[in-house]
Amino acid sequence: MREDVQLRLKSLEYTVDVAKRNFEMSLYVPAAFYVHLAVEKALKTAIIALCNELPEKTHRLQRLYGKIANEVPLTEEQIAFLEELTPVVSRARYEDIELADPSEIYTEAVVKRFIDNALPIIEKLKAAIMEK
């Protein structure tokens, strides 16, 4: 496996751990942000490993997934989840996006669902990368 892909996978594991630890400490806004970041890292790493090209500089998860959709099939529900997760990167960082406190948006229940939906996608992407 390429050294840069190994490094990205290590960074991905750290990011997943940070998301989980923030959730365990009831820090739901940063947990939501790190869930998004982990999925984004997994998608970008898959693009590098499976397509042998640098990913586009975007936070739009469905757009990134489009580059590897033929190599890593996701369910319709998983693809819809990517679209739902995409705005987190902005909403968790900028209060004026929704004109609401992000902690009112990213509650324990919401972030738990994010984690539960994101982890299988991340694992599926990692498995495809490891098979390469």
Q: What are phi and psi of 2, to 5 degrees?
A: -60, 145
- In the prediction, which pLDDT does 91 show? 86
User: Tens of pLDDT along 104-113?
Assistant: 899 999 999 9
Distance between CA atoms of residues 107 and 111, nearest Å: 6
Class of domain 3-131 (CATH, top level): mainly alpha
User: Tens of pLDDT along 26-80?
Assistant: 999 999 999 999 999 999 999 999 999 999 999 999 999 999 999 999 999 999 9
Please choose, from the candidates 88, 89, 85, the residue with its C-alpha nearest in 3D space to the C-alpha of residue 117: 85
- In the prediction, which pLDDT does 97 show? 72
- In the prediction, which pLDDT does 95 show? 73
Amino acid identity, position 41: K
Kindly state the average pLDDT of the residues 124-132: 95
Token representation of residue 54: 């640098």
Q: Where are the domains of the chain?
A: 3-131
Helices (H), 74-107: 76-85, 88-91, 102-105
Amino acid identity, position 73: P
